[in-house]
Amino acid sequence: MSVTAVADRVLGLLPDRADWQAVRRAPRRDLVAGLTVAVVALPLALAFGVTSGLGAQAGLVTAVVAGAVAAVFGGSHLQVSGPTGAMTVVLVPVVQQFGPTGVLMVGALAGLLLIALALARLGRYVRYLPTPVIEGFTAGIAVVIALQQLPAALGVTDAHGDRVWAVAADAVARFVVHPRPVALAVALGVAALMLLGARWRPGLPFSLLGVAAATVLAETVPVDLVRIGALPQGLPAPSLGFLDPGAVGVLLPSALAVAALAALESLLSATVADGMTVGQRHDPDRELFGQGLANLAAPLFGGIPATAAIARTAVNVRAGAASKLAALTHAVALAAIVLAAAPLVGRIPLAALAGVLLATTVRMVEAGALWALARATRGDALVLVLTFVVTVAWDLVTAVAVGVAVAVVIALRAVARSARLEQVPLDRGEHSAEEHALLAEHIVAYRLDGPLFFAAAHTFLLELSEVADVRVVILRMSRVSALDATGAHVLGDAIRRLRGRGITVLLSGITPDHDQVLATLGVADDLRRDGLVFADTPAAIAHAREMLRGTVTT
């Protein structure tokens, strides 16, 4: 791609006049929606920051900086971005292996990768992701996030393990030896308040109310609860101190995983937002571009990698948002909270934040949808379970890769089964009974229906090789829907086998696209030279009849 083409492409990804026209339509509604989302996002940003391993401050910085940049440059008018539970699942092992500076470097690299994906116009392909894969990794993420919260919910600060489930098991073991019932009661109380309150009054921010109540309890009653700790009043100064060009090679695999997750979750969230509204449609490539810029900006201030948040986006839509102003207001409101209430935020118990995320994981999983998918087909159930298990046991990106691979194999198997080799009767027309008997004895016509590609070619070869007691075989190709190199080679092999047994093969109805594949690979060149390739089946039948009468030789 030339420099001019890249420049034109970048200009096409930048905000345009339509974005600012949307801002002027209902600014009051957008401001109210943004403030509503900020109330919901505050405890989540704190909790995800703590869970990532970089602390509550990193979560707030990410929500402010990445949230603002993605709001301005993203491809959805309704999307809200920031730290998410799915991202923390990927970041925890990065923190353990490379430390905080490694996470910042991974975020910047992921931002560059997302921008490259946007320039390559790859955003549209997320629509092909199978539903069982999406539901499987969503359920898996919920379980992983819940396991991540067990140490804080149990009041355990020194749990260890190389996998999240191992850390959770160690925390449970330590809790049994030295139980801390207050922390567990606070976590379960906050979670219960959120879940039950949402059914009673869905519009109230019960997550914030629960965290506030837990903080008041911790301040007024002498209980042993671990707090967030001191937070600076204001955003950190931007810095490039985390940059280490020599570490790019080591960190690139982690950056690829973060970029893949950011792209996947952001585009899925934007699709969900479109489905909740009328007339709103996101631009997938612009969304990737906006997320890329957000992930480039967040590390400068010490923020973790970000992505669009489905839960916060849904709150934004339900609150009446109509433009990017709502998401931008959410980021500005969070920045004001950081400036004005940092000391108070630092007194929040970690167990309360664990309760917020435990309730969030329950909301993430739709048991009805999972059960319906599990009963749909065996293939869907297999993909769903595999994606879920790999997400919990290994990591999300591997789970998506495994789920998609299995789904592709199952789809190819189904498509291959749709390919048929069917013997069809020859049109009797006005010919004599003797000729009919001769034709029935010595000529057979086969119609190829469906795709002739690598997954179906072997079956085709076996079926066609069983043809016996005939002198002429007519292969009707007009209904072949797809033909690849493997299918073409197998076709050529079948023709050679039949001709080796003294059977003449005629081809009819080859479409121009398929003819190009055959000609390029040199398949059926002998038939073309001998005049045995025909535009339609009647011409092929007529030629076969002439051969049987002895007027034509092959």
Phi first, then psi: what are they for 450, rounded to 5°?
A: 90, -165
Domain annotation for the chain: domains and CATH numbers: 35-370 (no CATH), 432-551 (3.30.750.24)
Q: Which residues pair with 452 in a beta bridge?
A: 483
Measured between alpha carbons, how far is 446 from 507 in angstroms, rounded to an integer? 10
Cα distance from N-terminal residue to C-terminal residue, the chain = 53
Both structure tokens of 156:
């355990």
Q: CA 473 to CA 143: how far, in whole Å?
A: 59
Positive or negative, the CA dihedral 532, 535, 537, 539 is negative
Q: What is the pLDDT along the chain (554 residues), one digit of tens a residue?
A: 567 777 778 888 888 877 778 787 888 888 988 887 887 788 888 888 888 888 888 999 999 999 999 999 998 998 999 998 778 878 888 888 899 999 999 999 999 999 999 998 888 777 677 878 878 877 887 888 788 888 889 988 878 876 778 888 999 999 998 888 899 999 999 999 989 988 888 767 788 888 889 999 999 988 888 888 777 777 888 999 999 998 899 999 889 989 988 998 888 788 777 776 766 788 899 999 999 999 999 999 999 999 998 778 877 887 788 889 999 999 999 998 878 887 888 888 888 888 888 887 887 777 887 888 788 778 888 988 998 998 888 777 788 788 888 888 887 776 666 556 666 666 545 444 544 554 565 788 888 777 776 555 666 666 666 666 778 888 888 888 878 787 788 788 888 888 888 888 899 988 888 888 888 888 888 888 888 899 888 888 888 888 877 655 55
173 burial via Cβ count (<10 Å: 0-12, 13-18, 19+): exposed
DSSP 349: B
**Are 148 and 88 in contact, with CB atoms under 8 Å apart?**
yes
Contact 102, 236 (CB under 8 A): no
In angstroms and rounded to an integer, the radius of gyration of the C-alpha atoms of the chain is 31
Structure tokens at 21: 């026209």
CA distance 484 to 188: 58
Bridge partners (DSSP) listed for residue 308: 81
Q: Where are the alpha helices (DSSP H) in 74-130?
A: 85-119
- Distance of alpha carbon 434 from alpha carbon 511, whole angstroms: 34
φ and ψ at residue 282, rounded to 5 degrees: -85, 160
Interstrand relation of 504-508 and 533-534 (parallel, antiparallel or unpaired): parallel
Alpha-carbon distance values, 508 to 279, 480, 512, 532, 539 (Å): 48, 11, 12, 9, 8
- What count of other Cβ atoms lies within 10 Å of the Cβ of residue 18? 8
What angle is formed at CA 323 by the lines to CA 362 and CA 194, rounded to 5 degrees? 20
* Longest CA pairwise span in the chain (Å): 108
> Which pair of structure tokens corresponds to residue 394?
């290994």
CB 532 within 8 A of CB 507: yes
Q: Which two tokens stand for residue 383?
A: 């993909």
Phi, psi at 478, each rounded to 5°: -65, -25
Q: How many CB atoms lie within 10 A of CB 157?
A: 12
User: Six-digit token pair at 80?
Assistant: 């809200």
Tell me if 258 sits within 8 A of 91, measured CB to CB. yes
Pick the closest to residue 74 from 297, 358, 378 (CA basis).
297
- Residues shown for the chain: 554
Tally Cβ neighbours within 10 Å of residue 160.
Answer: 10
